[in-house]
């Protein structure tokens, strides 16, 4: 008795060219081909994203494999299983019927199983008089045997991609760590170079790295960081080669000398003589009379507008943005990490950032910002330094400049509020306008 092997799905389900392709692959399987069903299933699970399979469809495939009694799938064996939807749902952890049908369709579309539907859509097997199966209607597992090597290769490709991605992320992490530490070394050891620009170049590269980046982008950014690392390393090695033991000692001496607070008394004195003591701790009566409280961020930014130029968008809304801007200012001023840590310990993170912004505002009048910061740090430890007088002095300079500008342009009444400029409260303005000698 001749039987016809069904190749189209039952009911309204359409036939697709992909299904015909899967049937052609299954038909071409060699009779001596053998595949371990659980090994094939493991390969499918590893390569499921490449195949387009879902976790639910894999749960159904796992259940279908349990209905085949043999572990080894051979090309010359009957590989059709015919569980009912109820039996299949039970072995798929109680999956709802609608979900079951939807993900069976996924398995068919992925070419992992073939539908062998009966005339009425039921799944069953017809047996002969001797008990052998003459005709079965259900799901054909022969594509798993035919595609066993292909599925194994896909799984290996996924493993290789994961390894490559892991190596790329490790390289990126190492490059980031090395570059940051080498920049700190260059600043700490006073190696000639524009370390502030190097740091900005590094941050510009890292800013293009999203939270979840593909391997290709990670490798591209790592390549740029590797070039930057090579330049930094070459600069440090070249400087090291030019130094002999005696030169190293003199270099260390010069570095310690730059950190000596006593060397900057003259710089502070010159600032006071110019009445532009924004980077000093000028202790005048009117400034000392201000109340001891936290500085508002708006006043700090009015006194130190220079930090706004370093921030993307030129806007600082919160203290955390201000602290981040201070991290950019520190290497640009050539201040060593150790001096910065000492300042943060003595002043606190926020006031250390305010001090750094004030120094940056008057950097053209300060010979050595690093040494000057150490001087202020020592005074802070002795209780002789506060950020209030420093910021108030900067505001005084700004108000004086605005006043001179208005007088130069045209006379204006004392109560006039025309034009832009710095706006402060009446109490603060009265304190700032108080004569120094009183």
Q: Where are the domains of the chain?
A: 17-146, 160-243, 256-432
pLDDT tens sequence across 262-292: 333 333 333 333 333 334 444 434 334 334 4
Q: How many CA atoms lie within 13 A of 151 on its CB side?
A: 25
Note the pLDDT of residue 85.
85
Note the pLDDT of residue 259.
38
Cα diameter, the chain = 122
Note the pLDDT of residue 255.
41
Note the pLDDT of residue 333.
87
Q: Exposure pattern of 74-86 as b/e (b: 16+ CB <10 Å)?
A: bbeeebbbbbeee
Alpha carbons 28 and 21: distance in angstroms, whole number = 11
Tell me the whole-structure pTM to 2 decimals.
0.50
Contacts for 356 with CB less than 8 Å, ≥ 6 apart = 326, 329, 330, 333, 335, 340, 343, 373
Note the pLDDT of residue 170.
94
CATH code that applies to domain 17-146: 1.10.10
286, 438 Cβ separation under 8 angstroms: yes
Alpha carbons 280 and 362: distance in angstroms, whole number = 9
Note the pLDDT of residue 222.
94
Q: Which helix (DSSP H) or strand (DSSP E) does residue 184 occupy?
A: helix 148-188
| Positions in the chain whose pLDDT score sits under 70 | 1-28, 120, 128, 131, 244-293, 405-438
pLDDT tens sequence across 127-183: 767 767 777 788 888 889 888 899 999 999 999 999 999 999 999 999 999 998 898
Q: Is 30 helix (H, G, I), strand (E, B) or coil?
A: coil
Note the pLDDT of residue 176.
92
Closest Cα partner for 37 from 154, 158, 151, 155? 151
pLDDT tens sequence across 387-397: 888 888 888 88
């Amino acid at each position: 008795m001749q039987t016809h092997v069904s190749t189209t799905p039952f009911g309204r389900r359409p036939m697709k060219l992909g299904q015909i392709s899967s049937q052609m692959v299954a038909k071409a399987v060699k009779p001596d081909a053998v595949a371990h069903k659980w090994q094939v299933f493991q390969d499918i699970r590893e390569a499921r994203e490449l195949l387009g399979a879902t976790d639910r469809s894999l749960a159904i495939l796992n259940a279908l494999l349990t209905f085949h009694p043999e572990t080894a799938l051979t090309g010359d064996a009957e590989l059709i299983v015919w569980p009912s939807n109820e039996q299949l749902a039970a072995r798929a952890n109680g999956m709802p019927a609608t979900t079951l049908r939807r993900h069976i369709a996924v398995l068919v579309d992925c070419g992992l199983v073939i539908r062998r539907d009966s005339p009425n859509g039921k799944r069953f097997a017809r047996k002969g008089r001797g008990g052998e199966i003459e005709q079965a209607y259900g799901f054909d597992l022969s594509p798993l045997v035919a595609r066993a090597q292909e599925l194994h290769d896909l799984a290996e490709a996924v493993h290789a991609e994961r390894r490559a991605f892991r190596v790329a992320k490790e390289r990126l992490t190492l490059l980031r760590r090395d570059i940051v530490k080498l920049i700190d070394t260059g600043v700490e050891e006073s190696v000639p170079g524009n370390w502030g620009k190097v740091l900005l170049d590094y941050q510009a590269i890292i800013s293009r790295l999203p939270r979840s980046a593909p391997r290709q982008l990670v490798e591209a950014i790592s390549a740029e960081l590797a070039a930057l690392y090579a330049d930094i390393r070459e600069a440090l090695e070249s400087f090291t080669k030019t130094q002999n033991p005696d030169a190293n000692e003199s270099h260390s001496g010069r570095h310690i000398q730059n950190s000596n607070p006593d060397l900057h008394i003259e710089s502070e004195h010159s600032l006071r003589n110019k009445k532009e003591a924004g980077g000093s701790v000028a202790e005048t009566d009117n400034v000392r009379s201000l109340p001891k409280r936290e500085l508002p961020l708006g006043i700090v930014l009015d006194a130190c507008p220079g930090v706004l130029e370093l921030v993307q968008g030129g806007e600082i809304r919160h203290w955390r943005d201000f602290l981040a801007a201070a991290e950019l200012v520190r290497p640009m001023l050539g201040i060593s990490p150790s001096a910065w840590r000492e300042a943060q310990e003595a002043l606190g993170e926020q006031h250390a950032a305010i001090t750094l912004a004030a120094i940056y505002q008057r950097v053209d009048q300060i010979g050595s910002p690093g040494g000057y910061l150490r001087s202020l740090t020592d005074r802070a430890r002795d209780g002789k330094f506060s950020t209030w007088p420093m910021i108030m002095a900067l505001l005084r300079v700004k108000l004086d400049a605005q006043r001179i500008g208005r007088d130069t342009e045209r006379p204006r009444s004392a109560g006039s509020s025309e034009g832009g400029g710095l706006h402060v409260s009446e109490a603060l303005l009265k304190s700032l306008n108080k004569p120094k000698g009183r």
